[in-house]
Amino acid sequence: MPQPKRSATSTSPKLLSSATEKQKQLQNSTSEPGNMLTTNQGLRIPDNHNSLKAGVRGPTLMEDFILREKITHFDHERIPERAVHARGSAAHGFFKVYKPMTQFTSAGFLQNPEAETPVFVRFSTVAGSRGSADTVRDVRGFAVKFYTDEGNYDLVGNNVPVFFIQDAIKFPDLVHALKPEPHNEMPQAASAHDTFWDFVSLMPESTHMLMWAMSDRTIPRSYRMMEGFGVHTFRFINARGDSHFVKFHWKPKLGVHGLAWDEAQKLAGKDADFHRRDLWEAIEQGNFPEWELGVQIVEEGKEDKLGFDILDPTKLIPESVVPVQIIGKLVLNRNPDNFFAETEQVAFHPGHLVPGIDFSDDPLLQGRLFSYTDTQLSRLGGANFHEIPINKAVCPFHNFQRDGMHRQEISKGRVAYEPNTLATGAEFRVDGGAQGFNTHPQALESPKIRRRSPSFDDHFSHATLFWNSQSPAEKDHIVAAFRFELSKVEVTDIRQRMVDNLAHVDAKLAARVAAPLGINAPDPKAAAGRLGFRDYRIIPTVEDDAALSMVAKPAADIKTRKVAILVADGVDLLSFKRLQQELLDAGAQCKLVAPQLGFVSTSSGKQLAADHTFSNMPSIMFDAVLIPGGADSAVALAQLGDAVHFVLEAYKHCKPVCALNDGAQLLSTLGFALEAKGDALMQPTPGVLMADTRRTADGEISQAFIAAIASHRHWDRLNVDAVPA
């Protein structure tokens, strides 16, 4: 390649810039598929199929540097997975604030409603390895990296607003107890085993988090339909230096929805990638997930009026006490180009702040500030993990950190220290200055002490608040989850300890959980005498809070909901064509599920292309079921075991089901028949519609079905436990 002529002093910025641009062009051209293969140094490789040997059947030669480069890189393609949150999915997007937050914070990205701040968001499960399933019962991570003009800001949270422990020193114990047991590496991605329940039964501070963990919050329908929380209390600092405590919330625009437990277990086997596939496909189809950012703001000095310690990460601020102010929106609109380079190498850290946001003294948060840096050093190969493209700030940065493994920046000049006079010396300052990040000044107590604050001693009032806020169906699910988990515990004493603790939350809850476990009735006095129990209970400011219930958060529409339309030869196209179009117009996705792939003949002789079969796309992949009319189709489906199971399973999981005309035959095993009353439109049980399209007004069926889908699940459905699916 011809080289530009250079003079002896050819170091002008313009020439360097053009050379850099040329280098970028070359890098881009050689990385595109279809070009000549090269080594990592750019040397062309004429043969990528054979190693260098001493004769065609002889030994491979050590001098084969092409082989060694390729094999060495392959050997190091995997990095240590995260100790927690190992399995994750992520996407790019942007954040926009709705109005300037100048009154509370000087953070630049929270000021200009016209500006879009790039973000990278990673969702994850906590306990399992990278190879575990998406739909296990587990807390979900919800981490957001904002690439702001003032530096990267990481809001590293979960889909639950509280945590198991109050002090970071217990985090290794919690994770060791939660992870697969070390003697046999079982069970994977599950908390239903002795070591976990042994630990939490001896840690009453975990009780509130356990209530959330046993709720449907930990088996979300999708990442797109779950809330996110910052968990800890942070500070907003405005330009005057005024401090307000703040709690962060992410509210999904699609509503907050969960899976049925039986459904979650089946999905883990049918499609272990259910959540990551859902996120990926939604973005690829242009159905960009969206959340709104909300904050609960408490003026510093008035936090004592809340009735609990705002620094305690096992507590939450009821929204009925301090309403959530919606201040901006988050939109995810681009999938990663490379899972490893972005999703796997992204490094979040709660200590990545921008001016205007600061920490509180939450002892769990304080420990995380050390732990996250330490973890990234091991995972990403050294102190330069911030230079990996997905982690790199978009604003200019300058310091005198140098060298180390995987250094990518080429630092120029002789000066790598400060203060100095050999460079500009402009960096030197000790007064803090008006620009940049300044830690909020606060008075500190003395003496140094290794002890828990007495204000953290109430372990049960917020657990009771959560329980009281649940609907009857949600309470049933919590009871069932505790029963399932504790039934897997082999040591009877652990089961007994746990239900004794639950007696301090609610006596009826504890009794219901204990009933099938082969143990004694719950004994709160026994719990109070155990290690770690503090006999202290605050009077809660409210007895219940509607914001803590998922049922109280129905969706405003049915966008991206997946509807299965069950068809066989002889299906009546006219019976469902209009309804299908109205579902599509409402934003739903409709798929034809048939006995086999190919085409299905309609009663009028037309051909419909089947999207899926009953065996490759079961009911658990859908949000609702539509059974069209057509006598021959209805008979064929009723005689097909997989089709009958499909409907029964959807019914058992409390999903909306709509049967039209002859399609009602598939509901006969549930005891429903359209002819029973002769009505044109019937709802024999919540979420089940049976309609005669020939006798109903236009739009009547679609309105009822769309409303049923928007409600997500109909947990008060009749005879669910009797359904054999």
Where in the sequence numbering do the catalytic residues fall? 85, 158
The answer to whether the beta carbons of residues 30 and 38 sit under 8 Å apart is yes
From 352, 285, 277, 293, select the one nearest 89 (Cα to Cα): 277
The answer to whether the beta carbons of residues 625 and 656 sit under 8 Å apart is yes
Q: What is the dihedral of CA 129, 134, 138, 141, to 10 degrees?
A: 80
Q: Which residue has the tokens 């606060």?
A: 442
DSSP 620: G
Q: Where are the alpha helices (DSSP H) in 666-699?
A: none
**One-letter identity of residue 600:** V
C-alpha span between 207 and 203 (Å, rounded): 8
* Structure tokens given for 629: 């009319």
C-alpha span between 653 and 477 (Å, rounded): 12
From 571, 718, 557, select the one nearest 659 (Cα to Cα): 571
660-685 burial by CB neighbour count: b if 16+ within 10 A, else e?
bbbbbbbbeebebebeeeeebbbebb
* Structure tokens given for 675: 């002819």
Give the three-state DSSP class for 458.
coil
Q: Which residue has the tokens 């399973």?
A: 649
Rg, C-alpha atoms of the chain: 30
* Structure tokens given for 693: 């399209």
How crowded is the C-beta side of 400, counted as CA atoms within 13 Å? Answer: 13
Sign of CA dihedral 438, 444, 450, 454: negative
C-alpha span between 520 and 518 (Å, rounded): 7
Give the three-state DSSP class for 600.
strand
C-alpha span between 616 and 686 (Å, rounded): 28
C-alpha span between 466 and 94 (Å, rounded): 33
62 burial (CB, 10 Å; 0-12 / 13-18 / 19+) is exposed
DSSP 181: B
Q: Would you tell me the crossing angle of helices 363-379 and 171-178 to the nearest 10 degrees?
A: 60
C-alpha span between 256 and 588 (Å, rounded): 17
C-alpha span between 377 and 368 (Å, rounded): 14
C-alpha span between 407 and 386 (Å, rounded): 10
Q: What does DSSP say about strands 234-237 and 228-229: parallel, antiparallel, or unpaired? A: unpaired
Q: What is the dihedral of CA 36, 39, 44, 45, to 10 degrees?
A: -80
> For residue 347, what is the enclosing H or E element?
none
C-alpha span between 714 and 719 (Å, rounded): 12
